[in-house]
Amino acid sequence: MSKRILLKNARLLDPATRLDRTGDLLVVGETIADVGTLENASADSVIECDGKALIPGLVDMRVQIREPGEEHKENLTSAAHAAAAGGITSMVCLPNTQPVIDDQSLVEFIAREARKIGLVKIFPYAAATRGLQGKELTEMGLLTGVGAVGFTDGVKPIASAQVMRLALSYARTFDQLIVQHAEEPSLTNDAGMNECEWATRLGLPGIPAAAETIMVDRDLRLVELTGGRLHFAHVSTADSIDAIRKAKARGLNVTCDTAPPYFTLNETAVGDYRSFAKLSPPLRSEADRLAVLDGIADGTIDAIASDHSPHDQDSKRLPFAQAESGAVGLETLLALTLAPVHQNKLDLLDALAALTCKPADILRLKLGRLAAGHPADLALIDIDRPWRIEASKFKSKSKNSPFDTLPVQGRALRSIVNGKTIFELES
């Protein structure tokens, strides 16, 4: 007999259906069986929610896990624990590992190890080009067959227009997604800072916002040419968002995501060479930050991902130009996304949709919903709970967060995957 678990007296929030009401949810085995007022439901165990919000588990569509190859920075187990603590029940890992995830055995390795760990669901992207070299396409059909949910060159752009055209066309054969890090490489450098007055004062060469927009404009034309499915990762500039907005209005099959740093911080967070604020793409202007918020609010930006990019101390505590780019984000994704909700700049269900059903839909995964028949992947959250981000307490192996010591509101109290509690916040 399948175990029956009743979650009682919850604020049920389902962004996919705009549900926001008090009620109960019944889990039978690994599946949601019923949602509503379930006064007479029989259950083997009852979880009292005390009016806290019960939402679909977060679906994080952009995570660097570092396994295989750099397990000292992060591995599948540590990333899974960190994700669970953040209310994330599914995540998709990038292929820029050592070796690169560009063949069937490595895609199968990720899936197999995730099952062994038995915590959050981990899905792999496969490399779009062999070795992430931007030249020869991978065997997308075979990789799709063993579980790849999309194709990307990770933190590298597919720089060649011809290769991108072929990738979009080939992926379309399998109804697959190409994910692009939109950055024109000839306009970038290792400085990792936005081109602005602040960069000039610091003596750092800047990366112009146009580096992102030029690549977005090019790739939108290639989508129009091929009819492929394209997703832009971590968009950060007003012009890029405007171009994507217009492309969607024309009916192009394009989606995009952003990450919390791009609507929470601007270029001044770099301060005096603060390497923990060195990201890729770099933190942009205040006008760009506000444009990202507007893009989420009007639905141009489909999803919010953690863009989790763990680095050890030796990689970050270097002169700014030499430090690695990126920040950890699994354990802060929920709270940072709720911040503009508390500031009345984002609607609650819109913000949660960008963390749940929208990324699930982009990836064609049956996740991110509070509905009968869907997997019982759930997060019980306290939307208003105040806490202070303390990077030293992260479950992630790496602690490189630009948000260390920031006071926030909103925290996961319990994470459930396939009906099994995988995380419960200590009181």
Query: Across the chain, what does the average pLDDT equal?
Result: 97
Q: What is the CATH number of the domain that holds 303?
A: 3.20.20.140
Number of domains within the chain: 1
| Residue 112 CB partners (closer than 8 Å, separation 6+) | none
What is the pLDDT at residue 89?
98
103 is known as an active-site residue: no
Range of the domain at 210: 57-362
Residue 196 region by backbone torsions, left for phi larger than 0, else alpha for psi between -120 and 50, else beta: beta
Q: Is residue 52 part of a domain?
A: no
Dihedral pair phi/psi, residue 134, rounded to 5°? 75, 20
In a domain, residue 384? The reply is: no
How far apart CA 44 and CA 33 sit, in angstroms, is 14
Find the mean pLDDT for residues 150-167.
98
Average pLDDT over every residue of 1-25: 96
Catalytic residue among 60, 294, 307, 377: 307
- Nearest Cα to Cα of residue 224 among 175, 154, 172: 172
> Does residue 175 carry a pLDDT above 90?
yes
Q: Tens digit of pLDDT for each residue in 251-273? A: 999 999 999 999 999 999 999 99
- Mean pLDDT for the stretch of residues 10-16: 98
- What sign results for the dihedral spanned by CA atoms 339, 340, 343, 347? negative
Residue 27 pLDDT exceeds 90: yes
In this structure, is residue 113 part of a structural domain?
yes
For residue 41, being part of any structural domain is answered with no
- Summarised one tens digit per residue, pLDDT across range 44-86 is 999 999 999 999 999 999 999 999 999 999 999 999 999 999 9
Amino acid at position 239, single letter: D
- Report whether pLDDT(41) > 80: yes
Q: What is the pLDDT of residues 336-378, one digit of tens each?
A: 999 999 999 999 999 999 999 999 999 999 999 999 999 999 9
pLDDT tens-digit profile of 290-315? 999 999 999 999 999 999 999 999 99
Q: Let me know if residue 395 belongs to a domain.
A: no
What is the per-residue pLDDT across 404-427, written as a single tens digit (0 to 9) for each? 999 999 999 999 999 999 999 997
Going 236 to 241 to 247 to 250, the CA torsion angle's sign is positive
Looking at the predicted structure, is the pLDDT value of residue 19 above 90?
A: yes
Query: Exposed/middle/buried for 290, CB within 10 Å: 0-12, 13-18, 19+?
Result: middle
Say if residue 1's pLDDT is above 90. Answer: no
In a domain, 379, yes or no: no
% of residues, the chain, pLDDT over 90: 96
pLDDT of residue 410: 98
The number of beta carbons lying within 10 Å of the beta carbon of residue 112 is: 11
CA dihedral angle for residue 283, residue 288, residue 292, residue 297, rounded to 10 degrees: 150
pTM exceeding the 0.95 threshold for the entire prediction: yes
Q: Is 5 contained in some domain? A: no
Residue 40: per-residue pLDDT: 86
Q: Is 77 left (phi over 0), alpha (psi -120 to 50) or beta?
A: alpha
Q: Is residue 32 part of a domain?
A: no
390 within 8 A of 399, measured Cβ to Cβ: no
Tell me the mean pLDDT in the region 130-151. 98
| Average pLDDT over every residue of 125-149 | 98
Checking if the pLDDT of 189 tops 90, the result is no
